[in-house]
Amino acid sequence: MKKQPATVSAAPQAATAITASDFQFIPREEKAADTVVRPSVSYWADVFRRIRQDKVAMISLGIIVIISLMAIFAPFFCPYDYATNNLSAINQPPSAEHWFGTDQLGRDLWARVWVGARVSLLIGLGGAIAPQIVGIFLGGISGYFGGWVDMFIMRVIDVGLCIPELVYVTLMMLLMGSGPMAIIATIAMVGWMGSARFIRGRILQFKNREFVLAAKAQGASPMRQIFRYILPNILGQQVVTITAAIPGAIFMEAYLSFIGLGIKSPMTSWGQLSQIGSSVFRTSPYQLWIPGALISVTILAFYLFGNSLRDALDPHLRD
Amino acid sequence: MGKYIFRRLVISIITIWLIATCSFFLLHMLPGNPFATDQILSQDMIDQLMDYYGLNEPLWKQYLTFMGNLLHGDFGTSYKYAGQSVNGIIAQKFPISAQLGLQAYLLSLPLGILFGIIAARKRGKAIDYGLVAFAVLGVSVPVFIVAALLQYVFAIKLQWFPVAQWKSFSYTILPTLTLAIGSIAGRTRTMRTLMLEVISEDYVKTAKAKGLSSAQIVWSHQIRNAIIPMIPNLGLEIVSILMGSFVVEQIFAIPGIGAYFVNSVTGLDYTMTLGLTVFFGVFVVGANFIIDLIYGLVDPRIRVVK
């Protein structure tokens, strides 16, 4: 087979006849085509490279890192306590002494803003991850086992999705009181249904693929098949979903605290600071602008980073 | 179609029943009673009040009474606003919230779709970048900051509109704008993405090859197909406008239903919380039901699959 084309193409040039000595036998090991010239780039390395090249993503990530570091460390280095009242220094505008001013009870806003950042960011992260965990678990079971389990979980979701968010909020607030955990639980209650549906769809798509069947044939338990073999394939999309859900969770906390169903004083959060700020907006506008600007910048950063991450993880999803 | 409507109707009714039942039992599981916070009341008076409102009856009996009343559309009497029925408060306050929500909805629906179409048609041009920037900012800035900005610029500095309260049409403009901006931004983004998807579809190329004018292509081939996936979101939108209206009502001192809801939750005013929860539940479930019907009408594939 391989010799024939060579003789055919050489035929017109009769002067230089081709002899057997023109050909050389190359042992299999020396064939250059099989050597990998460039180092192979794994999926995650490629994602990392794309993200690093994306200026918007890097700036957003920088902002997120700075705000997170401030939330962790700023309260330790602040001379004022976030919950201590000082009635001789109320509603002071920002100054060298109080960097962000003080509130109606004379509490230092610099300290309060960063303690509030802890709560808001915690809820942002927890509120993004918690519904995913529940969703992966129930969606995984539903998709993998099928049958009446699947039927039951899907009907629960059908009905559950029809119930307005406000109902869950009310019930969870009444049941667990108001605190970061109650808000995360509320978000999880609302959010798990969407992610369970999504995961179920993906499990159905993957559970009969060869590599899962091979694992099954070798005796892998259902949980191992789901978590070890199927989930890594949808991890990328889950990372995007989680990143995209963080701003939503921060928003949710802000709204709830703003209408008075969220975090209660003396504990604080950005939403609660905004609520107090908006009540004295006419006389001390900085009390609203500072937490408001922080919420906006943080959400914007998460939002833009999420978009870039989605592009990096899956070029097909670009819009 | 009949089967589809029936199915949606059954799910809606089950949902409403679940909302009412879950809320009822959860509320009654809670420690404390609605009168415990009023310190002036002696134990005797609390007992009397509990008796009067039937709170000492066994739980199943209370549940049956509650459900019986509910079937007649009676939500009961508030414990905190003495003598006022929940129905009365809803009748009095909900129209205000509804007007605010409806105005915002009617403003954001056409504007968001229009902006999305413009951005997609002018992809990569300055106007596209402008609209995308607006969309990104609009979904990142919380409602209360938008409200404060609008109040500051249009009411305090320019004095075009009143700062707060709810008396005539001019009072409604700033709250409506506040509430609408977020959903305009969200819808611009969705509509832009949907339009961009549709623009490269084969049937659009076919239409172009047939020699249709670009206005005809945009109107009868692109917009009509791009709008369909937006329809189910219209129901969710109503919910988010409802949530947003609580915040806006608080900022602009609008005497809507939001404050009653929050106060009833924090004050353990069972009947009020229950009544309002069920009312909002019915409202949202009903809205979703209607939107499902429209969706089924517009896109025949839906009713076949489900």
Q: What is the DSSP string of B25-37?
A: HHHHHSSS-TTTT
Q: Are A152 and B7 in contact (CB under 8 A)?
A: no
CA distance A169 to chain B (A): 10
pLDDT, mean of residues A251-265: 84
What pLDDT is attached to residue B24?
A: 85
pLDDT, mean of residues A195-215: 87
Is residue A189 exposed (0-12), middle (13-18) or buried (19+ Cβ within 10 Å)?
buried
- pLDDT digit string, tens, across residues A37-91: 777 777 778 888 888 888 889 999 999 999 999 999 888 888 788 877 777 777 7
What pLDDT is attached to residue A91?
A: 78
- pLDDT digit string, tens, across residues A168-190: 887 787 778 778 888 899 889 88
Q: Are A139 and A197 in contact (CB under 8 A)?
A: yes
> In this predicted complex, what is the ipTM?
0.78
Domains and CATH numbers, chain B: 90-263 (1.10.3720.10)
CA distance A216 to chain B (A): 32
CB contact under 8 A, B23 and A164: no
What pLDDT is attached to residue B33?
A: 67
- pLDDT digit string, tens, across residues B86-128: 888 888 888 888 889 889 989 998 999 999 999 988 888 899 9
pLDDT, mean of residues A282-309: 89
What pLDDT is attached to residue A32?
A: 64
What pLDDT is attached to residue B38?
A: 58
CB contact under 8 A, B15 and A162: yes
What pLDDT is attached to residue A7?
A: 47
Interface membership of A69 toward B (CB under 8 Å): no
Q: How many CB atoms lie within 10 A of CB B306?
A: 11
Residues 51-90 of B with CB under 8 A from A: none
Residues of chain B with confidence (pLDDT) below 50: 305-306
Is 90 exceeded by the pLDDT of residue A146? no
CA distance A243 to chain B (A): 14
- pLDDT digit string, tens, across residues A152-163: 888 888 778 777
Closest to B271 in 3D by CA, of B122, B18, B52, B12 = B52
Q: Which residue of B has its CA nearest to A164?
A: B281
Is 50 exceeded by the pLDDT of residue A34? yes
Beta bridge partners of A102: A108
- Mean pLDDT computed over every residue of chain B: 83
Beta bridge partners of B77: B85
Q: How many CB atoms lie within 10 A of CB A318?
A: 9
Per-position b or e across A72-98, b if 16+ CB within 10 A of its CB: eebbeebebebeeeeeebbebeeeeeb
At A299, the pLDDT band (50, 70, 90 cuts) reads very high
pLDDT, mean of residues A10-21: 66
Is 70 exceeded by the pLDDT of residue A97? yes
What pLDDT is attached to residue B127?
A: 92
Cα gap B243→A35, rounded to integer Å: 61
Q: Which residue of A has its CA nearest to B16?
A: A163
pLDDT, mean of residues A136-151: 88
Cα gap A60→A51, rounded to integer Å: 11
What pLDDT is attached to residue A33?
A: 64
Q: pTM of the predicted model, to two decimals?
A: 0.79
Interface membership of B153 toward A (CB under 8 Å): no
Q: Are B235 and B284 in contact (CB under 8 A)?
A: yes
